Amino acid sequence: MTIEQTIAHLQSEFADFPDWEERYSHIISMGKGLAPYREEFRTEEFKVKGCQSQVWLHPSITENAIHFEADSDALIVKGLVALLMRIFDDRTPKEILDAPQDLVHRLGLDQHLSNNRTNGLASMLKQIKLYALVYSMTRTT
């Protein structure tokens, strides 16, 4: 499934919930499904800057893709992290870098999250793209 297809699938999934409270609960339940985060990566090096809550994002580079492990200390943020993982985990750097910039808007998250949460989500997305950029640059040299 491409990133665009994953976004469309998430849009459809969110449309199944008639109100924002149900979507919010769904996002939280997504976070509960994240794989346990390894304690050795719960460090400043992997902490996402710009998030109100604590968020950790650890990339593992495979031959063709980037695998992410992630966690947060806040339930809703952990759910948002899980949502981003559904979109970006195990993708090539090119796929990540070519992903649409209006992702948060397309999923309708900007309408219901606080400015701090929206900014934190943007910081997570920026960090994911930064990892992809660094990886793509190291692969060409």
pLDDT of 140 reads 56
Active site residue 51: yes
pLDDT of 101 reads 87
pLDDT of 104 reads 86
Dig out the tokens for 115 from the structure.
């400015």
pLDDT in tens for each of the 141 residues of the chain? 999 999 999 999 999 988 889 999 999 999 999 999 999 999 999 999 988 899 999 999 888 899 999 999 999 999 999 999 999 999 999 999 999 989 888 988 888 888 888 889 999 999 999 999 999 888 654
**Residue 36 DSSP symbol:** P
CB atoms within 10 A of CB 94: 11
What are the counts of helices (DSSP H) followed by strands (DSSP E) for the chain?
Answer: 6, 2
Distance CA 55, CA 77 (A): 8
Nearest to 50 by CA among 133, 128, 134: 128
Dig out the tokens for 121 from the structure.
């989500």
pTM here is 0.92
Tell me which amino acid residue 72 is. S
pLDDT of 141 reads 47
Distance CA 28, CA 63 (A): 32
Instruction: Tell me whether residue 50 is exposed, middle or buried, using C-beta atoms within 10 angstroms of its C-beta: 0 to 12, 13 to 18, 19 or more.
Output: middle
Q: Please tell me which residue in 7, 10, 48, 51 is annotated as part of the active site.
A: 51
